[in-house]
Amino acid sequence: MSPQILVDGLISGAMIGLGAIGVTLTYSILRFANFAHGEFISWGAYFAFAVSGLLGYLSGGLAAPIGPFSFGWSLPIAAVASVALTAGLALLVDAVLFRPLRSRRGAVIILVMASFGAALALRNLLEFIFTSRPDYYTTNLQIAMRLGGGMRATPDQLLCLGVAAVLALAVHLLLTRTAIGRSMRAVSENPQLSGIVGIDIRSVVRMVWILGAGLAAVAGIMTGLIVQIRPEMGLDLLLPLFAAAILGGIGSVPGAMIAGLIVGLAEALTVQVFGAEWRAAVAFVILVAILLLRPQGLFGRPE
């Protein structure tokens, strides 16, 4: 067995983990499984693709590679714009679709089915605008560096790992050390009591969308940088995202990140042992196993 699966697994796991943080926050605070979350990943990747392409067109120097990386300054600048645009998209979807449904106090299943509809609409709109042909942020080739122990990784891959770790830590600190983080945890535990305490639940809901969609955008950009950009990229990640969110324990940010890495490593191991065609089955097996054996997940508390 090649030790390379460790690097491959951690890199894909970091992207799954970032996406799973958004899923776990939405699930615990808005109390529904948002199946449109994968589309925020795709839209984040395409927003960055469009903005970086525009910047590269306006100033060729911005597209020139930075140091050992395959991309120029146009991509980091576009990533910031993409986070803002994807957060705006999430707020728009909430205002148009989810908020009216929440205000009617309908069953959770209605919100879940609405998220399926939103996912379909967003994915098809993306395909209509950008076509289904894969796109790339850069066509520059990178040589993987030796990491020791028979493992290799490109500078882009190592950067993605570092960014994912920093973002996960930042979100964890936001939730545990700041006033808005306390409010988010309070609403997650008891929305009615939160109102009595003086928390404006609408502002907490807005924060959840901004945070979840922003992290999804970063996950999308990383996936686009390391693999490719496709309208279905979010859909392909959806099952691993939910597997990681449930494995980590709903509401637990460190849990989502660690579980994302576990799912990524399991996928990499499966590809090497059984073949690439079994990759998609791994998340499903983990999801079923955790629901049967420990429904509260690794870091969650039993209801």
Residues in contact with another protein by the rule CB under 8 A: 179, 182-183, 185-186, 189-190, 192-201, 301
d(CA 49, CA 136): 8
* Residues 86, 53: Cα–Cα separation, whole Å: 17
User: 109 vs 193, which CB is nearer to another protein?
Assistant: 193
Q: How far is the CB of 208 from another protein (least distance, A)?
A: 17
Nearer to another protein, 110 or 189 (CB): 189
CA distance 275 to 118: 33
SS3 of the chain: helix, strand, coil, percent, to 5: 75, 5, 20
Nearest distance from residue 135's CB to another protein, in Å? 43
* Residue among 179 and 293 whose Cβ is closer to another protein: 179
Hey, which residues does 184 pair with through a beta bridge?
A: none
Nearest CB to another protein, comparing residues 155 and 191: 191
User: Which is closer to another protein, CB of 82 or CB of 183?
Assistant: 183
- Kindly state the smallest distance separating residue 250's Cβ from another protein, in Å: 13
Minimum gap (Å) between residue 95 Cβ and another protein:
18
Q: Look-up: residue for tokens 């605070």?
A: 29
Q: How far is the CB of 175 from another protein (least distance, A)?
A: 11
Nearer to another protein, 26 or 183 (CB): 183
What is the 8-class DSSP label of residue 98? I
Cα atoms found within 13 Å of the Cα of residue 158, Cβ hemisphere only: 14
Residue 247 CB, shortest distance to another protein, in Å, is: 20
Identify the residue whose tokens are 């969308």: 209
Q: With respect to another protein, which residue has the nearer C-beta, 172 or 185?
A: 185
The SS3 of residue 135 is strand
- Cβ-count burial of 135 within 10 angstroms (0-12 exposed, 13-18 middle, 19+ buried)? middle
**Of 159, 176, 177, nearest in space to 252 by CA:** 176
Backbone region of residue 31 per phi and psi (left: phi > 0; alpha: psi in -120 to 50; beta: other values) = left
Compute the least distance from the CB of residue 255 to another protein, in Å. 14
| DSSP class of 66 | P
Q: Which amino acid type is present at position 10?
A: L
Residue 53's CB: how many other CB atoms inside 10 A? Answer: 15
